[in-house]
Chain A
């Protein structure tokens, strides 16, 4: 009980511990800055007029200059992917809750953005994207030490995952993925979770679930990384169908199951906010998918094209399905369909062509409609804003269909339509492994947080609305 009452104090204690950690790590900062130039410094003899360092590419990763076009595109992508979460996802979710919970809902996205960014700086970036073991990365970039080689000479510090851009840009780009993955989970537990419990859950989840799974699929030595020659299974996941969407949707389902149903449900209070949010997601998703090419070239162009095609198709398909089955086309329906299309094309975007994208769009519109209606009602869980129904169902469908529609001409890997049956199996292994690991670890985290501070607000708070009870604010 003591801990339950003082979960706020617990957070303060955590913050203090983090600050202490920073203080203790100061020597690391100094040594990192002292060492970094020493490690990669061009000889002092290299006068300013000497020949510029060579361009960075897959073979040249040291003492080289990043490609300015690629870097410009990735800087842009980072910014618009951040826009997907705040305000995009915040509004998408905010419009779907009742008015008494809209402040809590939008603030959840905002607070997750801040929390995940701090953890990223400390160690989650290093754990996810640096070489270490096949299961989890190393800590050589903890506190982002050595992330910049030498700014004064224009020498970047690219890595094998992003050979033509500075590692700072790559790290920040990937940060925006970690943010939205965590923020997506909020759709499942909306309108009834304690804010403090949410922060603990999301923080622990980012460390113990997101970091390892991102490392499996995208880490240079990850077990599922399709560009790692030593990978156990080569899983295609261009921009995060498995890492982001199956991952967040599954965690959301676990949270919905652990928290239980809301006492009362109400209709969305403002579908226009949801429409604005869905539109921001659509625009930001070009950074998400085309940005995942980590270059501004042919693959990015195709990723952008297929992203748009699948999204438009899925939005239209959902609208038609709903129109047929329920008699009316709805704002929420077409927006949900578009997001389902974005989710499903995410793993496929660098690997399929335009007609593959069209097929994936149609499938996403139909399957995710079922995910949010038939599937949800069949099992009776209260996935409040359909994080599982759209993201896990759409992400898994997209991941499997990537194995079907991949064309070697576009992304270097053949899929089922070119006779490669194995790829569909690989995709299923990737999705299945992530699902199982996610279920187990997320349940453990939720159980621990529940025992220490309690996951759910009291019935009175839920009835009064989280805005007033938890934040002392109301939205009119």
Chain B
């Protein structure tokens, strides 16, 4: 089992969610996060005074899935979240040891 963690542009969330639902992903967790990458930040101007905003708002998705599904999930997120512009985000994958569904007590693959 793996966790696929993706950082995407906030306005792409709905498209990514729809695409993931279509390939059978049954749940995901979303957080509003801030950070920077190659896009760096931007400047905001208020009454002529410039303020550097170095952390940009992004959306973080976390999806738990079976190992054999990982490639498909990555492919789907990449396709749906891509604009071709700098700042589209990144996808990270890491291992997942254990899963428990609290209501039923099911574990691992059955709980995903």
B24 within 8 A of A: no
Least CB separation from B47: chain A residue:
A372
**A265 close to chain B: CB less than 8 A:** yes
Interface size counted on chain A using CB atoms at 8 A: 19
Is B102 positioned at the interface, with any CB of A under 8 Å from its CB?
no
Q: Is B48 an interface residue (CB 8 A)?
A: yes
Question: In which size bucket is the chain B interface?
Answer: under 10
In angstroms, Cα B51 to Cα A268, docked, is 10
Tell me whether A328 and B46 are in contact (CB under 8 A): no
- Do A330 and B48 touch across chains, with their CB atoms under 8 A apart? no
Residues of B within 8 A of A377 (CB): 48
Contacting residues of chain A (327-347) with chain B, CB-CB under 8 angstroms: 328, 330, 332-333, 336
**Cα-based distance from A333 to B79 in the complex (angstroms):** 39
State whether A326 touches B46 (Cβ < 8 A).
no
B86 interface hit (Cβ, 8 Å): no
Is A267's CB under 8 angstroms from B48's CB?
no
Q: Which of A267, A374, A389 contacts B46 (CB 8 A)?
A: A267
**Contact call B44/A336, Cβ cutoff below 8 A:** no
Q: State the CA gap A266–B46 with chains docked (Å).
A: 10
In the complex, chain B residues 21-55 whose Cβ is within 8 Å of any chain A Cβ: 44-49, 51, 53
Docked complex Cα distance between A330 and B49 (Å): 12
Q: How far is the CA of A267 from the CA of B43 in the complex (A)?
A: 10
Cα–Cα, bound, A332→B47 (Å): 7
Instruction: Kindly state the separation between the CA atoms of A373 and B50 in the bound complex, as whole angstroms.
Output: 11
B49 to chain A, nearest CB (A): 7
Query: Quick check: is A386 within 8 A (CB to CB) of the other chain?
Result: yes
Contact with A along B41-81 (1 / 0, CB 8 A): 00011111101010000000000000000000000000000
Q: Which residue of B lies closest to A266 (CB)?
A: B51
- Chain B: minimal CB distance from A377 (Å): 8
Q: Are B51 and A326 in contact (CB under 8 A)?
A: no
Question: Which of B44, B47, B51, B53 contacts A333, CB < 8 Å?
Answer: B47
Name the residue among A267, A328, A333, A374 with the largest chain B CB count within 10 angstroms. Answer: A267
- The residue in chain B whose Cβ has the minimal distance to the Cβ of A267 is B51
> Is there contact, CB below 8 Å, between B48 and A372?
yes
Q: Contact: A326 with B48, CB < 8 Å?
A: yes
A235 to chain B, nearest CB (A): 30
Q: List 14 A-B contacts (CB under 8 A).
A: A96-B46, A265-B51, A267-B44, A268-B46, A322-B48, A326-B45, A326-B48, A328-B45, A330-B45, A332-B47, A369-B48, A373-B47, A373-B48, A389-B47
Query: 10 other contacts beyond A96-B46, A386-B47, with CB at 8 A cut-off?
Result: A265-B51, A267-B51, A267-B53, A326-B45, A328-B45, A332-B46, A372-B47, A373-B47, A374-B48, A389-B47
Closest 6 CB pairs of A and B: A373-B48, A267-B51, A372-B47, A267-B44, A332-B46, A326-B45
Mark A residues whose CB is within 8 Å of B: 96, 265-268, 322, 326, 328, 330, 332-333, 336, 369, 372-374, 377, 386, 389
